[in-house]
Chain A
Amino acid sequence: MTRIIRIVRLALKSLLLHKLRSGLTMLGIVFGVFSVIAMLAIGEGASAQAQRQVLELGATNVIVRSVKPPNEVAQSSANSRVLQYGLLRSDFKILTKTLPTITNAVPIREINREVRYLKDAMNARVVGCTADYLDMNHLHLTQGRFLTGSDQEKLLNVAVIANEVANNLFRYEDPVGKSIRIGSMYYTVVGVTKDRTASAAIGGSLSGQDYNKDVYVPIKTLQVREGDLDIKNQAGSMTAEHIELNQITLRVNDKDAVLSTAEAIRETLEQSHPRTKDYAVVVPLELLKQAEQIRMIFNVVLGSIAAISLVVGGIGIMNIMLATVTERTREIGVRRALGARQGDIIEQFLTETIVLAGSGGLIGVVFGLLTPITFLGIQWFVQNFVMEGNTVGSDVGRMFFDLQPQIAFWSLPVAFGISVTIGIISGIYPAISAAKLDPIEALRHE
């Protein structure tokens, strides 16, 4: 043990003789290890982000959404100007009645309407839903109550508004108890929901949801007041769509039953929608598994890119050690003359490379641990100098700003181990060539 300490101490002495050179050589390894850890942390963060988004949808949920059928199909079926598609109330009934594994189900109807309070107005998404909606979408209330079953039964004109809507319409007033106008009808505000970060689009069939401009009303009330026909005036032309439900969110009683239930839902809907596939079944759990696979691929790709930089660092070490051996030929000769065996010389040079690579690895690990902070800095820089303070619109942009790198702690010892291994590998050849020098020649070397 004391011998190891002695050898390492002597190696340090030799390395400190050329501080700048040793430092620069070490940099290769520092950056290699840093990038391995950083890349994996970003990969891990991205996958955690994807997982979080999926979990927000609910791991035990199955989401069925109405999808506008492709144009050709629509045209052939639409003799009238009204495009009729999507989930039906009867679908909701069949699904809830026939599938025993479903514990909760929420029918959802979404329309865009102007919402008005006195002189203030804004466009909002009016969501017709039931009491379970709150819980199943992980929404929370800041004020008042959510919709209840009796609201539905009595067809009450009540509304729960999202925080942003409340801020826009009721700047200096308490919204609860006030009447707002939605379309041509008046609704009494009974509650306000808390802000919730928008969910990003997942898998194409589910677009991103911004919960902050929502107004929730009882679905039965909405049906009675607004009907199923949604007429939009756009740029002079008029489109009319007949949709009963935009979405059905179903909760399954057991995580293990989610996939089989989803299968049953698909089969059931296939029977009631035989001609066109005007709906999509989104299973967050399936997405979660996909996300997991993507994460693996992500990690491997990012990890390999980072590993390449480690190898480059290793080549740098080898290069310098070979130069060092030439430069220190005389010293090697002296040591041999004073009794050093070939093994001693190998040991000495190998220790130097290992110390070099090892300390580079340690510094790299420390830098790697700072990845989240560094990334925050990059985000801040992009926000202030590239985006110039504008908010991002695209999903990719939002993904970038939402991303929080998570250090994979297994990557610390792995990256450090790889750096030491690379140190050994790149040190072996120079060390052996040093040991193989003829002592007489080495002593004569200038």
Chain B
Amino acid sequence: MRLAAQVVDLTKFYDLGSVVVKALRGVSTDFPEGDFVAIMGSSGSGKSTLLNLLGALDRPTSGQYILGGRDVSTLDDDELSAMRNDMIGFIFQSFNLISQYTVLENIEVPLLYRAGYPPIGRVEREWCVELANMVGLGDRMDHRPFQLSGGQQQRVSIARALVNDPQIILADEPTGNLDSTTEAEIMDILHNLNAQGRTIIMVTHEPGIAKQTKRQIMMKDGLIESESVLEQYLPTR
């Protein structure tokens, strides 16, 4: 089975002068392609730090993070930006759409920062429209974020996460700000994406959400405390 991403003995220490906070103390795990993982844990368990490292927003103190065949831990800032743009799709708890842009323009944002700045042509635009249709916002492409409900905004951000066809999708509490109906809708979309073969790593503290994934990782004190895999998803080797 091919790996989408892999972390090996990952540590992250924050030197606060008087104390050194050990947010991650050696985390190793594999993310095979097509995986759907929920990372859980109480606050301070290190799950956010892990997500930041997985999102190439930060570099580990030690250890390796292999994404798309490259060791992210050795890259400089510009290369990290390129990785985020090319390999990773982000879905945030608070949607984080750009308020002055329309739905379509928000979906286009990652295209603005592609390597070499190729122009956004007809092909790209059609792809964005297709994504908007896929998340069910085909009739609202000219709307601004403030004209959309929370669930609709989150759909825009899902479309945005997909626009550069990333290796992994990172979702940080994607349903944290939503009511239960829209939560179900968003989870449906994520399930569909996963069914199409997308690798999704999700941070959540809601067990009900976590149960809908293939695999749960419990974090505690900067380490993986336990891992559980639903029976039907156990690797058949």
Residues of A within 8 A of B (CB): 2-3, 6, 10, 13-14, 16-17, 330-331, 333-344, 439-440, 443
Q: Given contacts A337-B57, A341-B113, is CB(A17)–CB(B84) below 8 Å?
A: no
Q: Does B31 contact A (CB under 8 A)?
A: no
In-complex Cβ contact of B92 among A16, A343, A439, A443 (8 A): A443
**Contact status A338-B78, CB under 8 Å:** no
Query: Quick one: which of A16, A334, A337, A340 has the most chain B CB within 10 A?
Result: A337
| Shortest CB distance A151–B (Å) | 85
Q: In whole angstroms, what is the CA distance A341 to B84 when docked?
A: 10
Question: Residue A338 contacts which of B52, B113, B120 (CB distance < 8 angstroms)?
Answer: B113
Mark contacts of B96-135 with chain A using CB atoms, 8 A cut-off: 1 yes-contact digit, 0 otherwise. Answer: 1111110000000110111001011000000000000000
Question: Are A343 and B100 interface neighbours, CB within 8 A?
Answer: no
A337 and B55 within 8 A (CB): yes
Task: Identify which of B84, B99, B114 contacts A337 (C-beta below 8 A).
Answer: B84
Instruction: Please determine whether B78 and A443 come into contact, CB atoms closer than 8 angstroms.
Output: no
Q: Which among B78, B90, B92, B96 is the interface contact of A342 at CB below 8 angstroms?
A: B78
CB-contact partner of B96 in A3, A339, A341, A443, under 8 A: A443
Distance in angstroms between the alpha carbons of A330 and B97 in the assembled complex: 10
Cβ contact within 8 Å between A338 and B160: yes
Q: Which residues of B contact A (CB under 8 A)?
A: 52, 55, 57-58, 77-78, 81-82, 84-86, 90, 92, 96-101, 109-110, 112-114, 117, 119-120, 160, 164
Decide: B101 and A13 in contact? CB cutoff 8 A.
yes
With A334-B96, A440-B58 already in contact, the answer to whether A339 and B85 are too (CB < 8 A) is yes
User: A16 — which chain B residues lie within 8 A by C-beta?
Assistant: 100
- Contact assessment for A13 and B100 in the assembled complex, using a CB-CB cutoff below 8 Å: yes
In the assembled complex, how far is the CB of residue A92 from the closest CB belonging to chain B, in whole angstroms?
A: 82
Can you list 8 contacts pairing A with B, beta carbon distance less than 8 Å? A16-B100, A17-B99, A330-B96, A335-B109, A338-B160, A341-B81, A344-B81, A439-B57
Contacts of A331 in B (CB 8 A): 98-99
Residues of chain A lying within 8 A (CB to CB) of residue B55: 337
Closest chain B CB from A236 CB (angstroms): 86
**With contacts A331-B98, A339-B81, A339-B84 known, is A344 near B57, CB below 8 A?**
no
Classify the interface of chain A: helix, strand, loop or mixed. Answer: helix
Label chain B's interface by main secondary structure: loop
Residues of B contacting A334 with CB < 8 Å? 92, 96-98, 109
Taking the closest CB of chain B, its distance from the CB of A420, in whole angstroms, is: 23
In the complex, chain B residues whose CB is within 8 Å of the CB of A333: 96
When A and B form their complex, which 5 residue pairs have the shortest distance between CB atoms, in order from nearest?
Answer: A339-B85, A339-B113, A17-B100, A341-B81, A334-B96
Residues of A with C-beta under 8 A to B58: 440
A2 and B119 contact, CB distance less than 8 A: yes
With A17-B100, A440-B52 as given contacts, are A338 and B119 in contact (CB-CB < 8 Å)? Answer: no
- Nearest-neighbour CB distance to chain A for B145, whole angstroms, equals 11
Q: Which residue of A lies closest to B90 (CB)?
A: A337
Contacts of A341 in B (CB 8 A): 77-78, 81-82, 113
A339 to B: closest C-beta gap in Å: 2
Chain B residue contacts of A13, Cβ below 8 A: 100-101
Known: A2-B119, A340-B85. 18 other contacts (CB 8 A): A6-B112, A10-B112, A13-B100, A16-B100, A17-B100, A334-B96, A335-B109, A337-B55, A337-B90, A338-B113, A339-B81, A339-B110, A340-B112, A340-B113, A343-B78, A344-B113, A440-B57, A443-B57
Q: Output the least CB separation between A202 and chain B (Å).
A: 61
Q: A6 with B120: in contact, given A17-B99, A340-B113 (CB under 8 Å)? A: yes
B77 touches A338 (CB 8 A): no
Contact of B84 with A338 in the complex, beta carbons under 8 Å: yes
B110 and A338 contact, CB distance less than 8 A = yes
